[in-house]
Chains A and B, each alone.
Chain A
Amino acid sequence: MKYILRQSALTLLSFAFLYVLLAGASFLVFPDPSSAGPRDFQAAEQTLYMTVPKYVFLGRSVLANPDQKIILVGASNTGVGFRQKQVQSKLGCAKVSNLAMGGANISEVQQVIDLVHEVQTDQERRQNTFVMGIWFGMFIDSDVKFADGDRHRGETDIDIERYRYGFYRRTPNGPVAVLPPQWLDAGVMAIRPFLLLEKAAREARAGVNLVMTGRTSAQRTDQERESVVMSDADKQKALEYWKETMGRTNDISPAQVEVLKQTIRTLLDSGEKVVLVDLPIPAWHRDASPYEPSYRLALKGLLREFGDRPNFVSLSMDDLDNDLDYSDEVHAKQHLANVWSARLATTLDSFVCQQNPGNAPRVTTLRSSEQVTAAPQVTATPDN
């Protein structure tokens, strides 16, 4: 037994030595941005956290402060279309963070909001304005949306991050916190050596990709996306993809609509502000998709229910539907993202900062080759 104990001690000591070494290296390579404040979660790749879900889950404690905060949630088109820096540059009164996640459905958006709430006090929560970017592709049930082989059916990317480091444990009733939310930063400190190793593994993979394909990742750059023009075959393929992905023939999931309603209701009831943005998609996609009518109907219901509530406002940008302004069936090109960001900033400025929507400036928008002028369509206003 003494040999076993001795070897166990030696192994633990060696492990501790490597652990401390790696932890030190992680602080050298990625110094901890300890100051609380806005962060561009879309730039996760440049951080120790690597992916948006991981960055959101592990880095959300920066949102625990008494400042006025604007928190963008939604799927990839919210992430791509609303540039954190641009929105922030036009808003002096609040700090903007974009927590949108690629492939998110409404349930996952709700999870992100819950995660933010976990680290905030009631007082801090009242300073939140959630900007929820939605479109029909987010109304997919989790069991359908998250069904690939390397995850447990129905588990979102946020769930995966919850379980990954043991901060939560899986139970038949869903995730249960093992680490209290107030200990989140300590937990993140404890796993820094492993984050560094994972970062190294990802960088190594990017290096292999560079050697094999001449580029580090399959993801297109903004410049590449600017020049994309979808062919008819691409459009057909995209329509088929969404038919397969939605898991329903011609309508969006009513359960997801209910989740959205419940989420907005909870936010408003707790004194938080909500900006619901109906994200535009290219006209060809909107007109050809069988899901658009049921989405419009659901949206109408939402606006009917919440339109008169104080602290709720909606923004529609359906005039920005020029096919050539999109790099695919959903995502705005950079020049259009600038317009989206400007429109959102204008709405937020009047809703959050000036608290007087009547003063909202008109916005000049570039639509492919023509220049159009459009006013932000604010359908409800706060009454305070």
Chain B
Amino acid sequence: MTSESGGLDQFRLAFREEARELLVELESNLLEMNERPEDGELVGNVFRALHTIKGSGAMFGFEDLATFTHNLENAFDEVRKGRLAVTPELVDLTLSALDQIRAMAEADDGETAADPAACTEILARLRALMGKGEDAAGSIRHTAPAAKPVQGAANELGAAIEPRVQPGSGPEQAWKIRFAPGPDLMRNGADPLLLVRELRGIGRLTVEASTAGIPSLRELEPERCYVSWEMVLAIPAGGDRGQDAARAAGEDAIRDVFIFVEDSCELTIEPARVEPLADAALANTGAKEPVSTAVCTADVTARALEEKRRSPGRRATDQPDSASSLRVPAARLDQLVDLVGELVTVQARLSEFAAQSQENEVLAVAEEIERLTSALRENSMTLRMLPIRATFERFRRLVHDLARDLGKNVELTIEGAETELDKTVIDQLGDPLMHLIRNSMDHGVELPESRVAGGKRRMAKIHLSARHSGASVLIAVSDDGAGIDTEAVRARAIERGLAGADDPLTETEIFSFIFQPGFSTAKEVTDISGRGVGMDVVRQRVESLRGAIEVTSQRGAGTTVTLRLPLTLAIIDGLLVKIGDAFFVLPLASTLECIELTREEVEQANGKHVAYVRGEIVPYIRLRQYFNVGTPPPEREQIMVVECEDGRCGLVVDQVLGNCQTVIRNLGRFYRHVQVVSGATILGNGAVALILDPQRLVQEAIRAKIQRGGSRSCGTTRENGHPRGGTHQNATEHSVGAGVRAGASR
């Protein structure tokens, strides 16, 4: 901010950012306008947003954008004044204009990203629409490009900028100026002395204040100016311009000085003869008092004043910005989070060394650093949190356009838009949500006629919601459409060989087929949801965010797809556990408690993998078996009880080492298919630990069980399945080695 070169580029970027936000706001306002065409507040919002885009655009060099937007602004001004009605056509036209504005705002110098033909057409249609209005012709003419301000404005701009007459040698033109402030001039905040000073900036000024009008003290109104001024201003005539042009420019420059007070003063400006400095003053003193010495010293004084006026400026640039929030490029935040990640790793090592050293002072420092690191981590994470609003809002447009294209009546409702999520998650959420909404619009929502025939509201509803749930955020897309035809899905699954003809399938299992690549039950392929490519992309994307998808649907009543996403991606709180020689991390958020499992208990359970936790049966998965760890188990193992979608489940490990903050590292492409592992981390001692995804572990176990033809009851799967009592015999087909030895799991 203090950089001297901060100038225009910085503002262009700021404008671009602002335009993006305004366009999103505009879009949702326009769409709401479709539903409530009479809502004056919406019209006001739209007008104001267009007005701001235009005004700021013109200021920061986006002239095309400003000119184009100005036309729209005019149209909505007409609407505001009740001269133009809000019609679906106007809304659609404006929406398509927004796309062009967006392109213009994103365009870099000299490059036109907008489609000129489309722009011309939009303007032509807009003009036609406004032609229906009463005063249309007038307002169109009024639309003259904003970049080239209309008549009056040009003068006003001149106030300061326009060719200020350049001082220099050569012939001079002289003006005699009489300036008598009216009663209100000073009450309105203007200061005559500053105006006189401003005249000095134009040329050589001789000035005389007349005090003749000052009444007696008692009668004097303290806030009214009684002094008037007689001045002679000599302006360099300026180079090659014709004399008339030069005179006109000169007079304009003088008038500009008084532009704010024109109406509250007496001002006469007349040409005067050019005369030498002192003579000029003498010649024009019709005054009572003797000629002042001011004439001679004015220049010196002016220079001194100039000096004085400038000096505080130097201090000024160092002043902190008093704005209460600031924009930071996302990349810098990413960098910060990366650095904090490194710090967390180093801190873990430090804590480890400190623990080994047994020195109290070192331990104290290590603890302090641990505390600070933890605070820093949380703090930097919150910096990246953004409300999901913008992502949600932009679907209004999608729903509007699709509804029109499909001939359906759909309203989009939004809930929990203020829910905050990590920026990375939000960025990657747009596509999956779009696919889900398209899918709902295309396959879920019925045509108005069949809705009415089925006794439903003609207007279908798509509901987008977001809410927090523990360390996750739940994002749901619901519709009140036809629901999923489970029989059709099952038939299609059997047809595609995804399931056997006689397989007993739960609803959840049937719904999961929807997310298989290339799976579609649509009778005809449409443009909207494409060729069944959408849903498996959704699954992949959500899973790459370490999220999960859940579908519920009721025939005839609608479908809800819920995405469960982690709040943050980069660092998690975990529990460090050990199995054999290998380390694993379990996310703390999903861990409920830890209980002991003795060899005796294992034997008593008759090969069933269940434990009794305060009278409740909890099935468990023996991770040493799952990961094929060859060493013999310890006498006492530990069951980590985790909460997952299918209920409580235990994960059996050898040893629980304690809490740890963990920076998640991706395993890389090669291990991408290993779903039960969500990443890896480097421990303080340099060892690598795999971060487990309990949810997936349990799901995989259930799936494996089903495929082996066992019972479908998910919880206690293994108890009545294969006799698998042995600890390290009978490795499952999941052979993810602890030393990052990975096989294909699935």
Binding partners A and B: no
Interface residues of B (CB under 8 A from A): none
